[in-house]
Amino acid sequence: MSKTYSLTLTIKRYDPERSVSWFQTYRLEAGPILRFVDLFRKINVELDATLAWASSCEHAQCGSCSVNINGRPMLACELLVENAVALFGVTEFKITPVSVAPVVRDLVVDWEKAYERVHRSKPYLIKPKKLPPGMTGFRISPAELSRYEEATRCINCFCCAEACISGNRNFIGPNAAMASIVRMMDPREEGKDERLNLLYSEEGIYRCHTSKACSHVCPKKIDVAHFLALAKEGAF
Binding stretches for ligand SF4 (CB under 6 A): 63, 154-160, 163-166, 174-175, 208-214, 218, 220, 222, 224-225, 228
State which residue, 101 or 218, has the beta carbon closest to ligand SF4: 218
Q: Residue 174 binds what, of ligand SF4, another protein, none (CB under 5 to 8 Å, by partner type)?
A: ligand SF4
CA angle 196, 197, 198 (to 5 degrees): 90
Distance (Å) of CA 20 to CA 23, 97, 103, 124, 210: 10, 14, 11, 39, 36
Among 123, 192, 206, 232, binds another protein (CB under 8 A): 123
State which residue, 30 or 215, has the beta carbon closest to ligand SF4: 215
Residue 139 touches another protein, criterion: CB under 8 A? yes
Chain positions 19 to 58 lying near another protein, rule: CB under 8 A, are 30-35, 38, 41, 44-45, 49-58
Residue 205 touches another protein, criterion: CB under 8 A? no
Residue 226 touches another protein, criterion: CB under 8 A? no
Gap between the Cα atoms of 202 and 177, Å rounded: 12
Gap between the Cα atoms of 199 and 181, Å rounded: 8
Give contact residues for another protein (rule: CB under 8 A).
1-2, 15-17, 30-35, 38, 41, 44-45, 49-64, 78, 80, 82-83, 104-105, 108, 110-112, 115, 119, 122-125, 128, 131, 136-142, 144-145, 149, 152-153, 155-156, 183, 186, 188-189
